[in-house]
C-alpha cells in the first residue's frame, strides 16, 4: 500500500499560500515579523495537536475508527487506518491458525513435545501429563533429563548421534501404568519426541511370547523321547536296508525340530532378558573372538579362508557374554553356510567413530538382494527356504541376533550385494548402559 504523494504536495501548496497570506498581512498591518511568527506558531500548534491525537489513537489496542481531520493529517490517519486494519486481519488469521494447530496437536493420541538445546522442553501437548507426568505450563523451558530420571531413557538420549536418524525406545511410563514407544525425530537443531501408548500391544506380545515359550518347552520332552527311540532303532535296524533310509530321514527331521525348539527357547530367553540388565558384565572380547575363530574353523572344516582382524586396544565390551556369543556365532555360522567352498570369511572387532564399537563378519558368499535386507531379522524369514533348510538353518538366527543387540542397545547393520558377499555389523555404543 502506497502513501498518496499528491496530499503531501497539496500540503506544501497550502503552506506556500499561507506564507504569502502572512507576508501580505504583515505588510498591510506593518507588523510583518509579529504576524509571521503568530501564523507559524499556529501552524506548529495545529501539527502538534494532531500528533497528540495520532499517538493516542495508535496506542489504543482496539482498532477504532480514526478521527477525520482536515488536510494532510486526514490522509495520514486514513493511510494508517488501512495499514492497521490489514495487520489486524493478518494477526487474526495467524491466531486462528495457531488455535487450529493447537487443537490438532491436542487431538493427537500421542504425547508430543519439541526439545531444543540440551534437551530443553520448548513445547509439549497435554498428553505429556498423563503419559510422562510432565506439566504443560510449569515444565516448559526445563531440560527433559531433569524431569525423567529413567537411566534407560537418559542413555537413549545421550547415545543420540545427531546424524539425522530417527530412534525408538520402549519404556514404562514414570508411574508404571503404561508401556510407551518413544520416538526421537531430529529436525533442524531441534527434536520432536513422540511417546505412544503401546500397553495393549505389549500385553498381546507378552501373551504370544509366553505361548511360544510354553509350546517349545512342552515339545522338548516328547521330542527328546522320540530322538532317544530313534537312536535305539538306528542301532538295531540301521543296517537293515528296508528301514535304514526312513530311520535316517526321521533322525534328520527330529534333529531339525530339536534345533528349532532350542532356538525358539533361546529367543524367548533373550526377549525376556531385554527388559533387565542383571547379566551385564565386562566381556573380554579378545578371548571371545579367539573362541569364535576356533569354532568357525571347526564349522568350516577347511572349506573357507577364515581370518580375524581385531583392535587389541579395546579388549572389553559391557554385556551378557552368553547372549553375545550366541549372536556372534549365528553370524559366523551364516557366513559359513552361505559362502561356497573356497570363499573368505573375516571376523573384525574395531572402533568406529568416537562412540561406536563394532563386531563385524564379512563373507565373500552369495550375497543378498536389497529388497530382503529389511526383513532378514524377522522370525522364519528366509531368502531361499530350501537353501536355508538344506544347510541346517532354523530361520531364527538373525532374529536372535536382533534381540540380543536390542538388549545391548546396539544395532545390526547389513551391507550386501548379490554375488559380492555380505557384511553383518553389530554396532555397540561405547558408554555404559543402565
Residue ranges binding ligand ADP (CB under 6 A): 330, 334-335, 338, 363, 365-366, 368, 376, 381-384, 388, 393-399, 422
Shortest spacing between CB 297 and ligand ADP, in angstroms:
17
CB 407 within 8 A of CB 323: yes
Pairing assessment for the beta strands 281-284 and 111-115 based on DSSP bridges: unpaired
Minimum distance of ligand ADP from residue 268's CB (angstroms): 16
Q: How far is the CB of 365 from ligand ADP (least distance, A)?
A: 5
Residue closer to ligand ADP (CB basis): 125 or 394: 394
Owner of C-alpha cell 581385531: 310
Q: How far apart are CA 381 and CA 239, in angstroms?
A: 38
Q: Helix, strand, or coil here: 275? A: coil
CB of 391 to ligand ADP, least distance (A): 7
Q: How many residues are present in the chain?
A: 434
In degrees rounded to 5, what are phi and psi of residue 253? -70, -40
As measured in angstroms, the least distance from the Cβ of 369 to ligand ADP is 10
H-helix or E-strand spanning residue 316: strand 316-319
The separation between the first and the last C-alpha atoms of the chain, rounded to the nearest angstrom, is 63
Min separation Cβ 370 and ligand ADP, Å: 13
Grid look-up 505588510 returns 27
d(CA 369, CA 416): 7
Cell of 46: 495545529
In angstroms, the CA 122 to CA 400 distance is 39
The closest of 372, 366, 378 to 420, measured between CA atoms, is 366
- Closest approach of ligand ADP to the CB of residue 266, in Å: 12
Beta-strand relationship, 344-352 and 305-310: parallel
Q: Take residue 79 and report the three cell numbers written for it.
A: 493511510
CB closer to ligand ADP out of 25 and 383: 383
3-state SS class at 356:
strand
Residue 277 or residue 330: which is nearer to ligand ADP going by CB? 330
Residue 412 host element (H or E): strand 411-416
> CA 183, 349, 262 angle in degrees (round to 5)?
70
Q: Is 150 helix (H, G, I), strand (E, B) or coil?
A: coil
Judged by beta carbon, residue 277 or residue 388, the one nearer ligand ADP is 388
Query: What 8-state DSSP symbol labels residue 119?
Result: G
- Nearest CA-CA partner of 332 in 320, 346, 318: 346
Q: Between 194 and 267, whose beta carbon lies closer to ligand ADP?
A: 267
| CB closer to ligand ADP out of 184 and 368 | 368
- 76 versus 324: smaller Cβ distance to ligand ADP: 324
Is 179 or 402 the residue whose CB approaches ligand ADP more closely?
402
Would you say 265 or 383 has its CB closer to ligand ADP? 383
Question: CB 308 → ligand ADP: shortest distance, Å?
Answer: 17
Closest approach, Cβ 400 to ligand ADP, in A, equals 8
Residue nearer to ligand ADP on the CB measure, 26 or 397: 397
- Set of cell numbers at residue 262: 532350542
- Shortest Å, Cβ 234 to ligand ADP: 26
Q: Which DSSP category does 420 fall into?
A: S
Amino acid at each position: 500500500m502506497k502513501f498518496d504523494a499528491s496530499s503531501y504536495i497539496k500540503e506544501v501548496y497550502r503552506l506556500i499560500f499561507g506564507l504569502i497570506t502572512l507576508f501580505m498581512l504583515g505588510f498591510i498591518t506593518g507588523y510583518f515579523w509579529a504576524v509571521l511568527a503568530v501564523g507559524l506558531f499556529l501552524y506548529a500548534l495545529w501539527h502538534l495537536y494532531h500528533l497528540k491525537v495520532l499517538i493516542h489513537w495508535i496506542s489504543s489496542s482496539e482498532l477504532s475508527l480514526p478521527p477525520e481531520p482536515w488536510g494532510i493529517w486526514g490522509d495520514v490517519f486514513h493511510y494508517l487506518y488501512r495499514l492497521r486494519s490489514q495487520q489486524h486481519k493478518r494477526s487474526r488469521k495467524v491466531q486462528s491458525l495457531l488455535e487450529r494447530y493447537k487443537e490438532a496437536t491436542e487431538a493427537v493420541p500421542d504425547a508430543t513435545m519439541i526439545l531444543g538445546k540440551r534437551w530443553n522442553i520448548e513445547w509439549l501437548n497435554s498428553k505429556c501429563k498423563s503419559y510422562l507426568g510432565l506439566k504443560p505450563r510449569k515444565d516448559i523451558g526445563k531440560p527433559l533429563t531433569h524431569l525423567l530420571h529413567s537411566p534407560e531413557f537418559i542413555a537413549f538420549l545421550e547415545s543420540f548421534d545427531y546424524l539425522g536418524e530417527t530412534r525408538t525406545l520402549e519404556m514404562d511410563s514414570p508411574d508404571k501404568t503404561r508401556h510407551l514407544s518413544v520416538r526421537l525425530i531430529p529436525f533442524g537443531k531441534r527434536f520432536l519426541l513422540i511417546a505412544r501408548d503401546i500397553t495393549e500391544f505389549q500385553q498381546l506380545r507378552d501373551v504370544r511370547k509366553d505361548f511360544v515359550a510354553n509350546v517349545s518347552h512342552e515339545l522338548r520332552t516328547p521330542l527328546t523321547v522320540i530322538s532317544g527311540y530313534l537312536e535305539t532303532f538306528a542301532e538295531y535296524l540301521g543296517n537293515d536296508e528296508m528301514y535304514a533310509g526312513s530311520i535316517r530321514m526321521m533322525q534328520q527331521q527330529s534333529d531339525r525340530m530339536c534345533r528349532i525348539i532350542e532356538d525358539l527357547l533361546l529367543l524367548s530367553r533373550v526377549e525376556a532378558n531385554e527388559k533387565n540388565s542383571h547379566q551385564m558384565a565386562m566381556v573380554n572380547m579378545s578371548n571371545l573372538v579367539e573362541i569364535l575363530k576356533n569354532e568357525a574353523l571347526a564349522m568350516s572344516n577347511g572349506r573357507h579362508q577364515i581370518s580375524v582382524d581385531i583392535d587389541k586396544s579395546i579388549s572389553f565390551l559391557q554385556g551378557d557374554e552368553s547372549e553375545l556369543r550366541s549372536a556372534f556365532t549365528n553370524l559366523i555360522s551364516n557366513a559359513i553356510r552361505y559362502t561356497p567352498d573356497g570363499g573368505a570369511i573375516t571376523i573384525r572387532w574395531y572402533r568406529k567413530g568416537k562412540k561406536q564399537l563394532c563386531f563385524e563378519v564379512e563373507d565373500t558368499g552369495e550375497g543378498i538382494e536389497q529388497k530382503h535386507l529389511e526383513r532378514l531379522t524377522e522370525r522364519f524369514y528366509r531368502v531361499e527356504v530350501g537353501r536355508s533348510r538344506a544347510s541346517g538353518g532354523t530361520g531364527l538366527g538373525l532374529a536372535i541376533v536382533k534381540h540380543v543387540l536390542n538388549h545391548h542397545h546396539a544395532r545390526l547393520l547389513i551391507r550386501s550385494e548379490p554375488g559380492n558377499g555380505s557384511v553383518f555389523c553389530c554396532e555397540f555404543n561405547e558408554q555404559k548402559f543402565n
